[in-house]
Amino acid sequence: MPAEHPRLRRSATPRTAAGIVHLGLGAFFRAFGCVYVEDAVRLSGGAWGIIGVSLQNPDTRDRLAPQDWVYTAVSQAADGSETIRRVEILSEVLVAREDPEAVLARMADPAIRIVTLTVTEKGYCHDPATGRLNPDHPDIVHDLTDPLPLSAPGFLVRALARRRDAGLPPFTVLTCDNLPENGRLVRGVVLDLARRIDPALADWIEAEARFPATMVDRITPATKPEDIARLAWKTGVHDQAPVLCEPFRQWVVEDDFVPAYGTDACPDLAAAGVELVPDVTPYEHMKLRMLNGTHSSLAYLGYLAGHETISDTVADPVFVRFVKRLWRTEIMPSFSAPEGVDLGDYADALFGRYANPAIRHRTWQIAMDGSQKLPQRILGTIADNLAAGRESPGLVLAVAAWMRYVGGVDERGQPIEVKDPLASRLRALSDAASTPADKARALLSVREVFSEGLAAQLAGPVAQALATLSRAGARKAVEDLG
């Protein structure tokens, strides 16, 4: 830490008592949920401080501890201007792997009424193709018998059990991950695990707990060491755990919280700009397909074409045509827009967000965990298009680019650092195949990602796209789509 910069400190404002435990304290939730909840408390009051929990990695806790859990959120506009705010809503940060008992104790505390989650797609220990709990997941196997859990579903189930045993109402489980029907998905995973541990507990959770669906949106790239240094020079204060994000934010939440808490079931999120709606599905389709679907497509193809970030990728005219074509001809026809939303305007705004040069969102970061992301981001759209007799050549090319990517070697023969829970299996399947058709068949056989029906329909088009990719390279393949 440079001696000339004093450490970031908490202001004199009294700390807000905790009402929320958050599992998975990454940059996204600190730039998003924490900021919304802090705004809600500032505007309408309430004991809604947040206890942050990292499931495994102590890094965030270790960085935030000397700052009394306070950090800076910097939103970076396309014109280079920045809005800097200090976020003080965290009251404590714990690391579950180090002290699972402390985490369960907080989750079972009567003051806690909501548990929010951003544990990423793979954190639900589910099968991405079906959305159901994977009972063979090693953490789930552990959590079935050990009352001190490892997994997010394990913490939810064991904490809910403690609350039932103590005669308390359950908490609302508010997932903020980019999963399809995320509320229903986490509910299914929790109920399945609970039923295997104690069927009566599952009945109680089913009757009493609530799992609202959400659509969350704010582009938040990982913070880099140079961001930390630059911010210190700019503000004169050293924050070792700032978060950087775009100005845009949108949170749509199904209005369904645990009824036992009455009007005290959640912060005044509406005051902070959250849209509380009876059905999140149209917003979810719009966001997962329009944003995340093109994000992943640009990530695989852009990475292979040698582009480091999303803004670099959409500065390339070939990719500008590609992404606009994806929105207009393949994605927009696949779902109905939320009431009052013009999808053309939404796509234009998205393009502006991607092009924001201040946001250095690496294609490599978005390419991570593709096996967990592809179904809800890309494959659902392709399947709906197939059912309606429409083709999806751009999205099929993106699937082929994912296959090329998980093969672990880029177009210049350099190794790719593939991060994915299935990485070694995907690599082995890819290595064992000799022709594009073999490779397509091998990877389409991964049932966690592709259903049997979809795999059969995709075999021909994906093989062809893979052949084009290896013959012409990603950039030319994108260009040739027209």
User: Which residues bind to ligand CS2, rule: CB under 6 A?
Assistant: 178, 217-219, 291-292, 295, 365-366
* Shortest CB 106 distance to ligand CS2, Å: 27
* Shortest CB 28 distance to ligand CS2, Å: 6
Of the pair 8, 174, the CB lying nearest ligand CS2 is at 174
Of the pair 365, 457, the CB lying nearest ligand CS2 is at 365
Per DSSP bridges, beta strands 114-117 and 250-254 are unpaired
Tell me the two tokens of residue 73.
């959120």
* Shortest CB 291 distance to ligand CS2, Å: 6
Of the pair 289, 295, the CB lying nearest ligand CS2 is at 295
Of the pair 291, 382, the CB lying nearest ligand CS2 is at 291
Tell me which residue of 65, 156, 55 sits closest to 98, measured CA to CA: 55
* Shortest CB 283 distance to ligand CS2, Å: 12
Of the pair 121, 192, the CB lying nearest ligand CS2 is at 121
Contact between 276 and 270 (Cβ < 8 Å): yes
* Shortest CB 435 distance to ligand CS2, Å: 30
Length, in residues, of the chain: 482
Of the pair 108, 301, the CB lying nearest ligand CS2 is at 301
* Shortest CB 50 distance to ligand CS2, Å: 19
* Shortest CB 363 distance to ligand CS2, Å: 10
* Shortest CB 152 distance to ligand CS2, Å: 18
Residues near 230 by beta carbon (within 8 Å), at least 6 away in sequence: none
Contact between 308 and 365 (Cβ < 8 Å): no
Contact between 154 and 139 (Cβ < 8 Å): yes
* Shortest CB 475 distance to ligand CS2, Å: 21
Residues near 471 by beta carbon (within 8 Å), at least 6 away in sequence: none
CA dist 400 and 408 (Å) reads 13
Of the pair 92, 369, the CB lying nearest ligand CS2 is at 369
Of the pair 217, 254, the CB lying nearest ligand CS2 is at 217
CA dist 148 and 111 (Å) reads 21
Find the Cα–Cα–Cα–Cα dihedral 29, 31, 34, 39, rounded to 10°. Answer: -150
Of the pair 104, 422, the CB lying nearest ligand CS2 is at 422
Of the pair 34, 291, the CB lying nearest ligand CS2 is at 291
Tell me which residue of 184, 185, 173, 211 sits closest to 121, measured CA to CA: 185
Provide φ and ψ at 353, rounded to 5°: -65, -40
**Three-class HEC string of 133-174:** ECCCCHHHHHHHHCCCCCCHHHHHHHHHHHHHHCCCCCCEEE
Residue nearest to ligand CS2 (CB): 295
R_g (Cα) of the chain, nearest Å: 22
Per DSSP bridges, beta strands 132-133 and 126-127 are antiparallel
* Shortest CB 219 distance to ligand CS2, Å: 4
Provide long-range contacts, Cβ within 8 A and 24+ apart, for 343-351: 343/286, 343/290, 346/286, 346/290, 347/290, 349/248, 350/290, 350/291, 350/294, 351/314, 351/320, 351/323, 351/324
Of the pair 250, 464, the CB lying nearest ligand CS2 is at 250
* Shortest CB 214 distance to ligand CS2, Å: 12
Of the pair 88, 246, the CB lying nearest ligand CS2 is at 246
* Shortest CB 215 distance to ligand CS2, Å: 9
Angle at 75 between CA 71 and CA 79, to 5 degrees: 150
96: buried, middle or exposed (CB in 10 Å: 19+, 13-18, 0-12)? Answer: buried
